[in-house]
Chain A
Amino acid sequence: MLLPGSGSATLEGYDVVKDFRKIRDILGYMPGKFSLYQDLTVEENLRFFAGIFKTTPEANYDLVKEIYSQIEPFKTRRAGKLSGGMKQKLALSCALIHKPEVLILDEPTTGVDAVSRKEFWDMLDRLKRKGITILVSTPYMDEAMRCDRVALIQAGKIMDINTPEGIIKNFSSRLWSVRTNDTYELLLDLRRFKATRSAFLFGQHIHLTLVDNAGSEPEIRKFLEDCGHQSVEIEETRPTIEDCFMDLMKG
């Protein structure tokens, strides 16, 4: 849909510039913004997208059955009148109806609640098992753990590509999880601690790394107690993928 300034890319061996028509046949794309026809019904949208690819909903029904059956009771409803979760399911059904080999999903779960997000990823797992390659973008770091490999892109550059485990393994700092009875004051104080390299909110804890990995638990504790914090808990913890991404983003 967009031409590169330079460089090249292929999908299933097809060049994104020269063979774009072929790519459209093997690619399913779900844009970040809901882009189906709001004035068409659920069923009409699905039939329309199948028609564009010279197929019918019936021909590839197997592939979308599991997803589409959840919105089938509303098949005569206009797409514009669906709830957010149902729109998302319809959009995925339409992206799949021509049986693509590759599925590209642009932030499919942004603004989606935790339950629906989990169900959506269970669905992606099943599509993967059917042999469909999936490229998906997300701002939710917990979803990164459900990918085979992840790439972190920032300011137009890829910072790292690896398996989730590989990214976690490359986290080089010792990571401390610190907690007191006032998390926000704790954050402000840790920012003033001279040995602090980074301090981030993590639920009711602060995740802390120190400059050159220097500093020990008693030193952190003493600093915090001098600041007036009570019931200080400090323990070393394993980084999550979110820690790793934030570390990479800071450069």
Chain B
Amino acid sequence: MQTGSLEHISDNNGPIIEVQDLVKKFGSFVANDHLNFTVSRGEIFGFLGANGAGKTTAMRILCGLSSPTSGNATIAGFNVYTQTEKIKRNIGYMSQKFSLYDDLTVWENFRFYGGIYGLKTEKIRERTEELLGRLGLQGEKNKILKEIPLGWKQKLAFSVAVIHQPKIVFLDEPTGGVDPITRRQFWEMIHETAKEGITVFVTTHYMDEAEYCDRVSIMVDGKIVALDTPLKLKETYRAASMEDVFLKLARAK
């Protein structure tokens, strides 16, 4: 995480996510109202907003699960209207609700998801060792998932989301309901992942976590009302913390 500069982020090959005038309507309801933003390779991008602001809708579009009503977006160079299968192969996704299979062992879960992403067994084995090694959970490899505490499960779910070394990983409230130590360990995993060049697109309701992002966007009623580094946002809104920035923007309806 850089608080002063964004020098570890490279845009040599253009932004990894590019969104132009993106609109999504459900009937007369405008869930996403002309969104414009780009995300750079290796960036940790915080996507904030109140409940119901339209974050999940936008995220589903960026993941190739839903089409925009109008506007354009490319993810890792692929078009969200026409190349959704290619998008899915190049991203990882983890939501708070997404859970691994409780009746399978840790290894079986890794093998299952690795297989879905088309990895060879040898590669899955190698990545599993590497990812479990980082978590210090090699000893849990053959444990059934339901015997594993929630905090560890969240970390395992994150590892599974990056098993195929995607270009971007989308994390939808990955730390909801998690204790303060585990939350911090989770963010250390995020930083490590970003250092490897994987772009991290993350939502959270913990405003201290917004401070860990390279840049943060704040969405209110379907529109992006602010987008900058946490430091700049605090300066602009004369706020002591990201919590204050958020309260000022999200409450001013």
Instruction: Tell me, in angstroms, the Cα distance from A114 to B4 when the chains sit together.
Output: 26
Q: Does A187 have its Cβ within 8 Å of any Cβ on chain B?
A: yes
B206-222, CB < 8 A from A? 206-208, 211-212
Among B2, B3, B206, B231, the residue within 8 A (CB) of A140 is B206
Given contacts A114-B243, A114-B247, A115-B250, contact A181 B205 (CB under 8 A): no
Q: Is the CB of A84 within 8 A of B243?
A: no
| B residues less than 8 Å from A179 (CB atoms) | 3
Are A181 and B2 in contact, CB atoms less than 8 angstroms apart? yes
Residue of B nearest to A141 (CB): B180
Which residues of A have CB within 8 Å of B177? Answer: 107, 110-111, 139
**Interface status of B96 (Cβ within 8 A of chain A):** yes
**Interface residues of B, CB < 8 Å — how many?**
37
* 25 pairs, CB–CB < 8 Å, chain A vs chain B: A83-B51, A83-B52, A84-B51, A85-B52, A111-B205, A112-B51, A112-B205, A113-B51, A113-B246, A113-B250, A115-B50, A115-B247, A139-B179, A139-B180, A140-B206, A181-B4, A182-B4, A183-B212, A201-B184, A202-B208, A203-B242, A204-B1, A245-B180, A246-B181, A249-B180
A-contact bits for B186-221, CB 8 A (1 contact / 0 none):
011001000100000000011110011000000000
For the complex, give the distance between the alpha carbons of A84 and B180 in Å: 23
Query: At the interface, yes or no: B238 with Cβ under 8 Å from chain A?
Result: no
Q: Is the CB of A249 within 8 A of B51?
A: no
Chain B residues in contact with chain A, CB under 8 A? 1-5, 49-52, 96, 173, 176-181, 184, 187-188, 191, 195, 205-208, 211-212, 230-231, 241-243, 246-247, 250-251
Closest Cβ–Cβ distance, residue A118 to chain B (whole Å): 7
- Determine the distance from Cα of A183 to Cα of B3 in the docked complex, in whole angstroms: 7
How far, in angstroms, from A181 to B205 measured CA to CA in the complex?
Answer: 25
Using A112-B205, A140-B206, A141-B180 as known contacts, say yes or no to A203 and B241 having CB atoms under 8 A apart.
yes
Q: How far apart are A166's CB and chain B's nearest CB, in angstroms?
A: 19
A contact residues around B242 at 8 Å (CB): 203
A contact residues around B3 at 8 Å (CB): 179, 181-183, 204
